[in-house]
Structures are given as structure tokens and as C-alpha cells.
Structure 1
Amino acid sequence: MNWDIIQGKWQQFKGSVKQQWGDLTDDEIDQIAGDRDKLTGKLQEKYGWAKEDADRHIDDFFRDKS
């Protein structure tokens, strides 16, 4: 899925993101605002994943949303 679309529809994705990655707070999800780099960084921070792992999880998650 195109990240411009994700950014534009971030309000719609927030609930799904929170359900998928429950360790993210509502404030963190608001701060991410559809920015892939911010989401990657937060997932690395919260889950201890390498960048590549975080990117894979993001790709898998949003692939299902397209």
C-alpha cells in the first residue's frame, strides 16, 4: 500500500494499529501520524526489533489492509 494513502487515512488505521501493536500508546500513534519511519522507530523501541524486522511487520500488516 502506498504510504501517501496511509498518511491520508491514518485516522482510519489508528484502531487497527493499536490492536496490532498494543504496546503503542494512543499518544504515540497520534505522533506517528502515518509516518513510516516514525512507526518503524516506535516498533523498534517498544518491541526490541531490528529495523528490518519492524519493516517486515509493517509491510505484512499493511499488505492485508490494501
Structure 2
Amino acid sequence: MNKDLFESQWSQIKPILRDKWSNLTDEDIRQINGRYDQLIAKIQQRRWL
């Protein structure tokens, strides 16, 4: 996915993230807040927990 598209479509993407990556917490989603780089960092972090 294109970074700009991700950031502009954040409100529509949030529910999809919750379904696809169930190990992301509500706090993770709040911290990501539409920033693609934060999404990648959180997925990598949660993947190794």
C-alpha cells in the first residue's frame, strides 16, 4: 500500500488492521494514528512479543 494512501484513508483502514493484526492493542492503534512508519514499527514489535 502507498504510504500517502494509507495516511489519507486511516479512518477506513483502522478496522481492517484490528481484524488482520489482532495482537495490535487499542493503544497501538492510537499511537499509529495514520502514520505508516509507526504501523510497521508496531507490527514488528508485536510480532516478536
Q: TM-score range by the shorter chain?
A: 0.7 to 0.9
Shift of residue 22 of structure 1? Answer: 0.4
Shift of residue 6 of structure 1? Answer: 1.1
CA contact (8 A) 2:6 2:36 kept: no
CA contact (8 A) 1:3 1:34 kept: no
User: Which residue of 1 is the match for residue 13 of structure 2?
Assistant: 13
RMSD of aligned Cα (Å)? 1.2
Q: State how many pairs are aligned.
A: 48
Q: Percent identity?
A: 38
User: Which residue of 2 is the match for residue 42 of structure 1?
Assistant: 42
Q: For structure 2, which runs of at least 5 residues remain unmatched after alignment?
A: none
Q: For structure 1, which runs of at least 5 residues remain unmatched after alignment?
A: 49-66
Choose between structure 1 and 2 for higher RCO, CA contacts under 8 A separated by at least 6 residues.
2
Shift of residue 17 of structure 1? Answer: 0.4
**CA deviation string 1:14-37 (max 9, x = no partner):** 000010000111221121122222
* 4+ residue runs over 2 A deviation: none
